């Protein structure tokens, strides 16, 4: 495709028409004077991050509001509302994720990205109370940032890592309110100051609904070197994620958990078959390409057999249990001492390490023979019922 003379310099049009399939509150038509001011302010910030060799050509792209025209044309071709926040947020996120993974998204992947963004936007309502000017102050810079990444991707041939790092950094900077430095004063100085909209967060009193539970194999590093382990993550519908839960979500105190174990928490978005996970405490975004669904338990399901775990199960009642046995009558018994041989015979009558159990979705409730009751997270591995998770411990059949 040969760009027309009017659009020869912003060659990003080719990219936009290929990848944009995006679709609520709108700020159309935008104020052109305000747009010019926002474009100049945004470019002054982006210029500091632009590689020296690409600075001149990139500055030409952002020298006029023509870049917005290209965005409008590309969005209009797909018949999405051009200046709805959901359209712009999806556009930005698709551009960033394509830069990170190094390939274009399919139409189906972009549509799924739009639906995910729309669901989260409607749930959180981050723009409640914003007028048309404030919406433009918030979302025009987002369009420009996406166009900046596309431009660099076109100009920096063979240096994709630079663009990937910039895209990751930008993706980790969640924008929930207009940047004060980008705001153009439109009211008298004596006008009351608008309080910023708080960053979306999990409710302090209500556990969010679960979207899915997944399993990944990850490599970690300890004193003895690298080791591989399986990791469970709960994906909540509000876009947050918790790794390696111990208690079931019905007993999850979100505020306390995030305060005590902040590294267990992250945010997620799904693009096609990949998950984009942002860990705020690392200020990094990761792409999870390989993951599997953890299956819930059912109240009618009975576990039968003896199982072992390598990491040791530590519950409120049982400490450092290394084996568990289940029978067809719904009874369980822990082996509370590590080691030993496979001839271990479970004692289902023990008052403090045995009793009955009940499965319910992603939860297992243990009722000990002495009357004590406790519940833990539970889930089956993807392919069979012989591998499962209790708490944060993974169990496999005991070899005979």
Q: 273-304, pLDDT tens digit by residue?
A: 889 999 988 888 889 989 999 999 988 888 99
The mean pLDDT of 305-326, rounded to a whole number, is 72
Q: 215-249, pLDDT tens digit by residue?
A: 998 876 554 455 567 899 999 999 999 999 999 99
The mean pLDDT of 252-272, rounded to a whole number, is 91
Q: Do residues 46 and 59 touch, judged by C-beta distance below 8 A? A: no
Q: What is the pLDDT of residue 174?
A: 52
Residue 206 in this model has a pLDDT that exceeds 80: no
More confident residue, 130 or 27: 130
Q: In 3-state terms, what secondary structure has residue 91?
A: helix
CATH 2.40.128 in the chain: give the residue spans: 305-397
Q: Is 285 left (phi over 0), alpha (psi -120 to 50) or beta?
A: beta
Residue 125 in this model has a pLDDT that exceeds 90: no
Distance in angstroms (rounded) separating the CA atoms of residues 98 and 93: 8
Whole-model pTM: value is 0.52
Q: What angle do CA 106, 111, 114 make, to 5 degrees?
A: 130
Q: What percent of the chain has pLDDT over 90?
A: 29
**CATH number at 305-397:** 2.40.128
Weakest-pLDDT range from 108-112, 205-209, 291-295: 205-209
Quote helix, strand, coil % in the chain, to nearest 5: 35, 25, 40
Q: 42-81, pLDDT tens digit by residue?
A: 999 888 888 888 888 888 888 888 888 777 776 776 677 8
Q: H/E/C letters for each residue in 250-306?
A: HHCCHHHHHHHCHHHEEEEEEECCEEEEEECCCCEEEEECCCEECECECCCCCCCEE
More confident residue, 103 or 368: 368
Q: Give the highest mean pLDDT range of 47-56, 187-196, 296-305, 356-365.
A: 356-365
Q: What is the pLDDT of residue 337?
A: 54
Q: What is the pLDDT of residue 226?
A: 54
Confidence of residue 184 (pLDDT cuts 50, 70, 90): very low
């Amino acid at each position: 495709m040969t760009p027309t003379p009017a659009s020869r310099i912003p060659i990003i049009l080719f990219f936009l028409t290929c990848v944009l399939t995006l679709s609520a509150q709108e700020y159309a038509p935008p104020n052109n004077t305000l747009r010019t001011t926002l474009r100049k302010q945004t470019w002054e910030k982006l210029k500091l991050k632009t590689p020296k060799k690409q600075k001149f050509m990139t500055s030409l792209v952002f020298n006029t509001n023509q870049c917005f025209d290209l965005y409008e044309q590309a969005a209009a071709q797909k018949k999405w509302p051009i200046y709805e926040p959901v359209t712009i947020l999806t556009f930005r996120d698709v551009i960033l994720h394509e830069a990170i993974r190094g390939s274009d998204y399919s139409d189906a992947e972009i549509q799924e990205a739009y639906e995910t963004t729309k669901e989260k936007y409607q749930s959180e309502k981050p723009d409640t109370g914003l007028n048309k000017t404030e919406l433009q102050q918030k979302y025009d810079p987002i369009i420009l940032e996406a166009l900046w990444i596309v431009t660099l991707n076109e100009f920096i041939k063979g240096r994709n890592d630079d663009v990937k790092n910039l895209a990751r950094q930008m993706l980790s900077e969640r924008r929930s309110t207009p940047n004060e430095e980008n705001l153009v004063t439109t009211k008298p100085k004596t006008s009351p100051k608008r309080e910023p909209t708080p960053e979306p967060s999990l409710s302090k009193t209500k556990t969010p609904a679960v979207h899915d539970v997944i399993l990944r194999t990850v490599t970690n590093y300890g004193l003895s070197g690298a080791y591989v382990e399986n990791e469970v993550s709960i994906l909540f519908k509000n876009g947050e994620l918790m790794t390696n839960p111990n208690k079931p979500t019905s007993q999850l105190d979100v505020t306390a958990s995030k305060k005590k174990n902040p590294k267990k928490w992250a945010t997620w978005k799904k693009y096609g078959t990949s998950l984009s996970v942002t860990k705020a405490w690392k200020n990094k975004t990761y792409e999870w390409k390989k993951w599997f669904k953890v299956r819930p338990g059912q109240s009618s399901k009975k576990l039968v057999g003896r199982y072992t775990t390598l990491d040791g199960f530590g519950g409120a009642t049982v400490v450092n249990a290394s084996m568990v046995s289940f029978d067809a009558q719904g009874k369980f018994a822990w082996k509370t001492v590590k080691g030993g041989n496979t001839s271990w015979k479970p004692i289902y009558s023990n008052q403090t390490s045995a009793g009955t159990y009940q499965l319910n979705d992603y939860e297992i409730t243990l009722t000990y023979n002495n009357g004590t009751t406790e519940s833990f997270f539970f889930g089956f591995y993807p392919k069979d019922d012989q591998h499962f998770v209790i708490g944060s411990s993974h169990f496999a059949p005991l070899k005979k």
